[in-house]
Chains A and B, each alone.
Chain A
């Protein structure tokens, strides 16, 4: 089975990425709406009486509205980051499906993927710190350093440089008569 070109593994993966991309759009939109709703409801705490958020020690969290809005907004931001990554991957896979992996734009796309991956990891630490500060009893997020994530960031950035070299060779080949 071919890896590149029409009808190859790349085109199959491109279809999967398309589906994930539109699902992520829906997820981001839904989470943003929910965050906005939670923020609006936080002005009237009576409406949030039915929602119970308690910490590990069993105590009820007081600022439920802002907490919910913050968590939902953070989740929307996280999904937004994933959306950017999947969007760039989709465009890369379009070039792979066309049989042109060393398209010059793929360098920038891969670099964006690497930077967003790093940004998401940093965002996780920030969210963990904020949650530990705002709701100490209910913080269940892992704030530890994920070496796999940082390794992925470095691999993607190195891949971007490999693609830059490929694009340079491609350009030279184009101008060799």
Chain B
């Protein structure tokens, strides 16, 4: 997938830890880690709203579109692999 989450960069710019952000936003550290490492499949508007409010940024600062080779949607294959 060509959508990249730049949460780590924004956190570094704000000098904020993931734990602190998790406390402020009300999302678990595990879920924020999934978001940070790009494993998330979707993000709720409510989560994006809370992140932007606490980090003082725009959604575009957190999420960018970076097309590249090998960015085909392999989620279905991943699922198939997990089920078999």
* CB proximity of A106 to chain B, nearest CB, Å: 10
With contacts A108-B84, A172-B41 taken as known, whether A177 is within 8 angstroms of B35 at the C-beta atoms is: yes
- Spot the interface stretch: A67-75, A121-129, A142-150, A163-171: A163-171
**Quick check: is A176 within 8 A (CB to CB) of the other chain?**
yes
Whether the pair A175, B83 counts as a contact (CB closer than 8 A) is: no
Query: How far is B80's CA from A164's CA once the two chains are assembled, in angstroms?
Result: 9
- A164, A171, A177 pick with most chain B CB within 10 angstroms: A177
Q: How many residues of A contact B (CB 8 A)?
A: 11
**Quick check: is A104 within 8 A (CB to CB) of the other chain?**
yes
**Quick check: is B12 within 8 A (CB to CB) of the other chain?**
no
**Quick check: is A83 within 8 A (CB to CB) of the other chain?**
no
Which residues of B have CB within 8 Å of A175?
34, 39-42
Which residues of B have CB within 8 Å of A171?
79, 82
Whether the pair B83, A108 counts as a contact (CB closer than 8 A) is: yes
Chain A interface mostly: helix
Query: How far is B41's CA from A172's CA once the two chains are assembled, in angstroms?
Result: 7
Sort chain B's interface into a size bin: 10 to 19
Whether the pair B39, A167 counts as a contact (CB closer than 8 A) is: no
Whether the pair B42, A176 counts as a contact (CB closer than 8 A) is: yes
Which residues of A have CB within 8 Å of B27?
177
Query: How far is B83's CA from A104's CA once the two chains are assembled, in angstroms?
Result: 5
Which residues of A have CB within 8 Å of B47?
177
Pick the residue among A104, A167, A172, A177 that contacts B44 (CB under 8 A).
Answer: A177
Whether the pair A176, B40 counts as a contact (CB closer than 8 A) is: yes
**Quick check: is A107 within 8 A (CB to CB) of the other chain?**
yes
Contact with A along B63-84 (1 / 0, CB 8 A): 0000000000000000100111
Q: Would you list which residues of chain A between 99 and 126 have a CB under 8 Å from chain B?
A: 104, 107-108
Smallest Cβ-Cβ distance to B41: which chain A residue: A175
**Quick check: is B32 within 8 A (CB to CB) of the other chain?**
yes
Q: Which residues of B contact A (CB under 8 A)?
A: 27, 31-32, 34-35, 39-44, 47, 79, 82-84
Complex A-B: 8 CB contacts under 8 Å: A168-B79, A175-B40, A176-B41, A177-B27, A177-B32, A177-B34, A177-B42, A177-B47
Q: Which residues of A contact B (CB under 8 A)?
A: 104, 107-108, 164, 167-168, 171-172, 175-177
